[in-house]
C-alpha cells in the first residue's frame, strides 16, 4: 500500500488516469463488504442489508470552495462534507451507517489533494463508525463533493420539521456562537481569533442523539438539524407549525462570548447566527422534556431547554419581542440576507 501511495507523489489526476485513481487511491478508503454482503469496488453499486426497520436516505452536496474557510485544509473539507451529510439523519432519529461519495475534480488536481480529501472522509467515518462504500469520480472545472447517506431507525414515525403544539418545549443540542462570530465579524477578522478557528475547523456531531430521538419519537413533535444557523432553524420550525417560539434560556455556547457581549441581546445574536453547528432542535411534549434531557445528558450530549411554543405569530421571541431581524441567512444563489426577507420572499 505505502509503495503505491509513494508512486503517485507529485502526479496529477490526468497523469494517473481515472481507472488507476480509483483502483490505487480511492479503493484504499472503501470498506470491504461484510460477511453477508457481496459487491465491492469496482462494482458500480453496493449491497447492504438494512440496519433497522426503517431506512433514511439523503444526499448532500457542496462546491468544494464553499467548505473551505481559510483555516480549513482539504482534509477538514472531507470531514465537513461527511459531518454535514449525517447531521440530517441524526435529527430524524436515523443512526447513519453507509456512505457513498461522488467527487468532481479538475484533471489538473494533484493526486495528493484527492488523498487529503479522502483522509478527511476517513477521519469522520472512523470517528462516527460509518462505512464509506464507494462512490463516483468525475472531471469538472470547479470541484464538488456529494455525499449520499443511509441510516436506520427503529422510530415508527421519524419527526418532521413541523407539527409542534402550543405548550411544547424546545430543546437545542450542540454548542453555539462560534460560526455566529464568523457571520458577524467576517472571515478575515475571525481568522485571528483562536477559539473561533478551533470551534469551526472540524465541526462535530453527536450521533447518539439519533438513539434518543428514535426512543422518544412519540414525544418529539418536530426535529430539525442546525446547518444554516440556530436562528434559521428556529424560524423555519416556527413557520412550519404556524406558532411562535419564545426563547427562555441560551443553549450551550462558547464561554468566550461572555467577554465579547455585555448583554443578553448581544449574546443571542452570536448564538442565533451561524451555520454548521450541526446540533438538533427538538420540539417536545412538555411531559417528556426532562426525561429526554436527562437521557441526552447521559449520552454526553450538550443539550438544553431553550424555549417553548407559544400561541403567537410564527416568529422567535425574546422577552416577548420578535428578534428575527438579528438573524442573517446564507442563500447559495444570493449570498447573505435577512432571514425575514428570505422567509417572506
Among 9, 27, 34, 57, binds a second copy (CB under 8 A): 57
34 binds a second copy (CB under 8 A): no
4 binds a second copy (CB under 8 A): no
Nearer to a second copy, 50 or 186 (CB): 50
First to last CA, the chain: 54
11 binds a second copy (CB under 8 A): no
Binding mask 85-104 for a second copy (x = CB under 8 A): ---xx-xx-x---x-xxxxx
In this structure, are residues 176 and 277 in contact, taking their beta carbons and an 8 Å threshold?
Answer: yes
Q: Using CA atoms, how far apart are residues 29 and 61, in angstroms rounded to an integer? A: 20
State how far the alpha carbon of 92 is from the alpha carbons of 22, 86, 147, 332, in Å. 33, 10, 17, 24
Residues of span 294-333 touching a second copy by CB under 8 A: 331-333
Nearer to a second copy, 298 or 334 (CB): 334
290 binds a second copy (CB under 8 A): no
**DSSP string of 51-88, one letter each residue:** SSSEEEEEEEEEEHHHH--TT--HHHHHHHHHHHHHHH
Nearer to a second copy, 100 or 292 (CB): 100
204 binds a second copy (CB under 8 A): no
Under 8 Å CB-to-CB from 36, ≥6 apart: which residues? Answer: 49
Residues of span 63-82 touching a second copy by CB under 8 A: 63, 66
Nearer to a second copy, 290 or 337 (CB): 337
Give min distance, CB of 113 to a second copy, in A. 13
In this structure, are residues 67 and 74 in contact, taking their beta carbons and an 8 Å threshold?
Answer: no
Give min distance, CB of 345 to a second copy, in A. 6
220 binds a second copy (CB under 8 A): no
Handedness of CA 185, 186, 188, 193 (dihedral sign): positive
Q: Return the C-alpha torsion angle 82, 83, 85, 90, nearest 10.
A: 140
Nearer to a second copy, 88 or 252 (CB): 88
Closest Cα partner for 253 from 180, 329, 326, 330? 180
In this structure, are residues 90 and 208 in contact, taking their beta carbons and an 8 Å threshold?
Answer: no
Helix (H) or strand (E) segment spanning residue 318:
strand 316-318
Site residue total, a second copy (CB under 8 A): 76
In this structure, are residues 66 and 143 in contact, taking their beta carbons and an 8 Å threshold?
Answer: no
Nearer to a second copy, 130 or 267 (CB): 130
Among 168, 169, 225, 277, binds a second copy (CB under 8 A): 225
State how far the alpha carbon of 298 is from the alpha carbons of 141, 172, 271, in Å. 47, 16, 24
Nearer to a second copy, 262 or 333 (CB): 333
Residues of span 36-55 touching a second copy by CB under 8 A: 38-40, 42-50, 53-55
10 binds a second copy (CB under 8 A): no
Residues of span 115-174 touching a second copy by CB under 8 A: 133-142, 144, 146, 148-151, 153, 157-158, 160-161
Nearer to a second copy, 267 or 327 (CB): 327
Amino acid at each position: 500500500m505505502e509503495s503505491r501511495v509513494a508512486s503517485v507523489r507529485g502526479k496529477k489526476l490526468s497523469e494517473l488516469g481515472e481507472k488507476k485513481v480509483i483502483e490505487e487511491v480511492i479503493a484504499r478508503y472503501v470498506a470491504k463488504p461484510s460477511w453477508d454482503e457481496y459487491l465491492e469496488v469496482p462494482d458500480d453499486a453496493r449491497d447492504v442489508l438494512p440496519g433497522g426497520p426503517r431506512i433514511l436516505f439523503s444526499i448532500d452536496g457542496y462546491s468544494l470552495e464553499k467548505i473551505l474557510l481559510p483555516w480549513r485544509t482539504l482534509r477538514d473539507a472531507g470531514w465537513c462534507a461527511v459531518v454535514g451529510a449525517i447531521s440530517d439523519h441524526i435529527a430524524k432519529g436515523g443512526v447513519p451507517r453507509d456512505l457513498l461519495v461522488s467527487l468532481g475534480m479538475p484533471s489538473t488536481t494533484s493526486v495528493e489533494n484527492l488523498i487529503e480529501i479522502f483522509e478527511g472522509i476517513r477521519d469522520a467515518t472512523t470517528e462516527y463508525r460509518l462505512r464509506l462504500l464507494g462512490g463516483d469520480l468525475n472531471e469538472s472545472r470547479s470541484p464538488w463533493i456529494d455525499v449520499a447517506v443511509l441510516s436506520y431507525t427503529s422510530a415508527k414515525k421519524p419527526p418532521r420539521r413541523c407539527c409542534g403544539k402550543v405548550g411544547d418545549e424546545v430543546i437545542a443540542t450542540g454548542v453555539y456562537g462560534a460560526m455566529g462570530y464568523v457571520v458577524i465579524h467576517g472571515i478575515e477578522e475571525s481568522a485571528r481569533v483562536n477559539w473561533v478557528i478551533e470551534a469551526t475547523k472540524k465541526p462535530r456531531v453527536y450521533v447518539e442523539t439519533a438513539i434518543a430521538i428514535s426512543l422518544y419519537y412519540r414525544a418529539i413533535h418536530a426535529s430539525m438539524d442546525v446547518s444554516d444557523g440556530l436562528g434559521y432553524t428556529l424560524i423555519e420550525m416556527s413557520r412550519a407549525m404556524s406558532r411562535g417560539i419564545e426563547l427562555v434560556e441560551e443553549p450551550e455556547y462558547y464561554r468566550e462570548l461572555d467577554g465579547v457581549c455585555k448583554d443578553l441581546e448581544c449574546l443571542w445574536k452570536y448564538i442565533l447566527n451561524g451555520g454548521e453547528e450541526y446540533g438538533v432542535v427538538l420540539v417536545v411534549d412538555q411531559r417528556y422534556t426532562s426525561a429526554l434531557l436527562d437521557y441526552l445528558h447521559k449520552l454526553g450530549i450538550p443539550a438544553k431547554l431553550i424555549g417553548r411554543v407559544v400561541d403567537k405569530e410564527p416568529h422567535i421571541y425574546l422577552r416577548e419581542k420578535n428578534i428575527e431581524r438579528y438573524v442573517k441567512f446564507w442563500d447559495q444563489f444570493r449570498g447573505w440576507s435577512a432571514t425575514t426577507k428570505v422567509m417572506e420572499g
